[in-house]
Structure formats: structure tokens, C-alpha cells
Amino acid sequence: MQRLDEAKRTAILQAAKQRLSQYGVRKTTMQEIAEDAGIAVGTLYLYFKNKNEILIATAEAYTQQHIADSEKILRDPIPAPEKLKAYLINRFRAVRENRLSGSHAAELARAVIRLKPELQEKQGKAVKDNLSSILQEGVRANLFRIDRPEQDLEVFLYSIGYFFPLPTSEKYYEPSEEKLLLVVDWFIKQWSRK
């Protein structure tokens, strides 16, 4: 049996993601994905049984990227307010890139939720945990004064929700990074008040 190669797998996922977001699941064939990835379709089947498996794998790769990005930002020795902004800018750009990846991006997101609903929940929980740990870091360093961190975190999550439109919903507005920072800076100011 042919050995599976991590770099080849990544190349397949990248090619598949691009074609699927541009043409949608139904109009994309395994043959086309193989061609885009520069491999024979027989080889493609060694990696993935069908389009749904590929779709789930692209979503999992997205989650892995979030974990890698977050770990790097959370480890960075910068003050909590800067870390909070760096983390949210990273998320904002990742979500936007995903949303704008093609005219079928919303359809793909809906398909992934149907195939593997727990992925979206995990994603939401990871964001919440990361933000919570940044707020706690700020409190420990005496940069943030927060009486009820859990409540503040909940309010904060609602307040930035506008800037992270659900990937499943069709586009009706494009949120601005500048306005997200306005909101985040406002919260930082509240949390920094003596």
C-alpha cells in the first residue's frame, strides 16, 4: 500500500477547499479535486473516501490552525490588553478569509455543521476559553479590574458577535476590523479603570 504523505494531504485539502467554495459540493467531483491537487484520482481515494470526508477534514484543518495560532498568541509575553487585541484580530481575519473564500462558503459551513455539529461547538468553546484565560492573566497582572469575570466575559462575547457573522449565514454586511478594535478598546478602558 502506498504510504500517505502529510504534505500531499495538505495540498489536497487546500485544492479541495478552493474548488468547493467556488463551485459548491454538488458541482465538484473527486476527479476535479485530484486534478487541482496534481494527483491521480486513485491516489486521492487513498486519502479520502468521498467529498464529505474531505469537507470534514478541511473544517478540522481550520480548527487545528486556530489552536496553533492561539497557542502562539497566548504564550507571547505581551500585556493582556495587547494579547486580547492580537487574539481577536487573528480570529477576525481567519473568519473573514473563510467567509470570503468563495460564493459557496455559507453552503460549505452548513454542510459541515450537518455532518459534524460538534466541530462548531468546540470552536466556540475554544474562543471562550482563550478569552477567559487572557482576562484572568490581565487580572493577575493587575492590569484589569473585573469584579465578575464570568459575567463580563459573557457580555463581551455578545458585544463582539456582530464582527463574527456566522459562516452559515449569507453575506449581508461586511464587518470592519477597525470597528471591532473600537469595541475591544472600549472594553479594555472599562476593565482598566481604577
Contacts of 92 (CB under 8 A, 6+ apart): 163, 164, 175, 177, 180
Q: Is 182 in the site for a copy of itself (CB under 8 A)?
A: yes
Q: Is 52 in the site for a copy of itself (CB under 8 A)?
A: no
To a copy of itself, the closest distance from the beta carbon of 146 in angstroms equals 11
Q: Is 173 in the site for a copy of itself (CB under 8 A)?
A: yes
Lookup: cell for 15: 485544492
To a copy of itself, the closest distance from the beta carbon of 138 in angstroms equals 17
**Is residue 19 packed enough to be buried (19+ CB in 10 Å), middle (13-18) or exposed (0-12)?**
buried
Chain residues 140-169 in contact with a copy of itself, contact rule CB under 8 A:
151-152, 154-155, 158-163, 166, 168-169
Q: Is 117 in the site for a copy of itself (CB under 8 A)?
A: no
Lookup: cell for 103: 460564493
Q: Closer to a copy of itself by CB, 45 or 186: give it.
A: 186
Cα distance between residue 98 and residue 23, in whole Å: 15
Q: Is 183 in the site for a copy of itself (CB under 8 A)?
A: yes
To a copy of itself, the closest distance from the beta carbon of 157 in angstroms equals 9
Nearest to 187 by CA among 161, 147, 155, 151: 155
Residue count, binding to a copy of itself (CB under 8 A) = 22
Nearest to 156 by CA among 193, 126, 128: 128
Structural contact between residues 48 and 54, judged by C-beta atoms closer than 8 angstroms: yes
By the criterion CB under 8 A, which residues form the site for a copy of itself?
151-152, 154-155, 158-163, 166, 168-170, 172-173, 179, 182-183, 186, 190, 193
